[in-house]
């Protein structure tokens, strides 16, 4: 009597089934497109996984992660075309002093006229310290608005950093910034002059702005906007034809 619990016929059927499973099921199914994939799945071997782990040089790869790596072998991430690539995104950037100087040279006229009457000597005769707080207010400006400017509550629209500029470059950059603000009907800008041991640029900014009739007020910026290394400038509003 045979020790097997299965008949010879059943044993033959099991062998045949085992052979089919080892080869993978046929890729063509009578169920059509709704049928599940029948190709055998190719998994990473333990040797391949160990090689990958060694390349990653990580102590945090446990058995679960190894199994996950095996299961995800051959899977490629789909490209999401709805995302905008950061590399192609335009980067908004405030114009620097060199850019404004070149722009002034190209445009000429108004910016040049604005800076033509500025006296460097008058500015330099009244030096200010690097840590000094700058403050100026035209008598016609309301105290309430000046207080808002000092508190940083008035939005500034554009800015320029004149660090490292010569006096001439700084003057051209500032007058171009103010001319640009006037053309765009902007009433507040920021000038970053820095402090420095001699504070020459800060002294010039303090003197120049006091000479310009377009300037209603200016003061050293709040800490969040540069502190005593920058000034917020309030300009007269440009009159339109409807006003």
Q: Return averaged pLDDT per consecutive 10 residues of the chain, 243 residues in all.
A: 57 69 52 51 60 57 62 58 44 52 52 69 92 96 97 94 93 94 94 91 96 96 95 87 51
Chain centre distance of CA 109: 34
Tokens standing for residue 44? 């990473």
Sheet bearing 188-192, strands edge to edge = 135-137, 215-220, 230-235, 188-192, 158-161
Distance CA 120, CA 114 (A): 14
Residue 15 has a pLDDT of 73
Predicted TM-score (pTM) of this structure: 0.56
pLDDT of the residue at 147: 97
Q: What pLDDT shows up at residue 20?
A: 64
pLDDT of residue 84: 47
**pLDDT score for 197:** 81
């Amino acid at each position: 009597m045979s020790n097997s619990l299965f008949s010879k016929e059943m044993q033959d059927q099991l062998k045949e089934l085992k052979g089919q499973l080892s080869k993978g099921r046929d890729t063509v199914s009578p169920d059509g497109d709704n049928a599940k994939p029948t190709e055998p799945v190719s998994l990473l071997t333990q040797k391949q996984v160990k090689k990958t782990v060694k390349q990653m040089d990580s102590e945090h790869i446990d058995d679960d992660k190894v199994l996950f790596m095996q299961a995800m072998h051959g899977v490629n991430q789909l490209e999401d075309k709805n995302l905008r690539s950061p590399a192609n995104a335009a980067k908004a950037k405030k114009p620097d002093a060199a850019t404004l100087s070149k722009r002034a040279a190209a445009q000429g006229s108004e910016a040049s006229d604005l800076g033509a009457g500025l006296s460097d000597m008058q500015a330099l005769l009244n030096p200010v310290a690097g840590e000094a707080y700058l403050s100026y207010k035209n008598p016609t400006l309301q105290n309430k608005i000046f207080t808002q400017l000092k508190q940083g509550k008035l939005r500034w629209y554009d800015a320029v950093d004149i660090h490292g500029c010569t006096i001439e470059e700084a003057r051209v950059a500032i007058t171009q910034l103010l001319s640009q603000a006037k053309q765009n009907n902007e009433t507040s800008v920021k000038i970053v002059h820095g402090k420095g041991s001699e504070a020459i640029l800060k002294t010039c900014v303090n003197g120049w702005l006091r000479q310009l009739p377009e300037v209603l007020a200016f003061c050293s910026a709040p800490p969040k906007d540069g502190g005593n290394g920058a000034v917020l400038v309030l300009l007269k509003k440009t009159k339109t034809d409807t006003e």
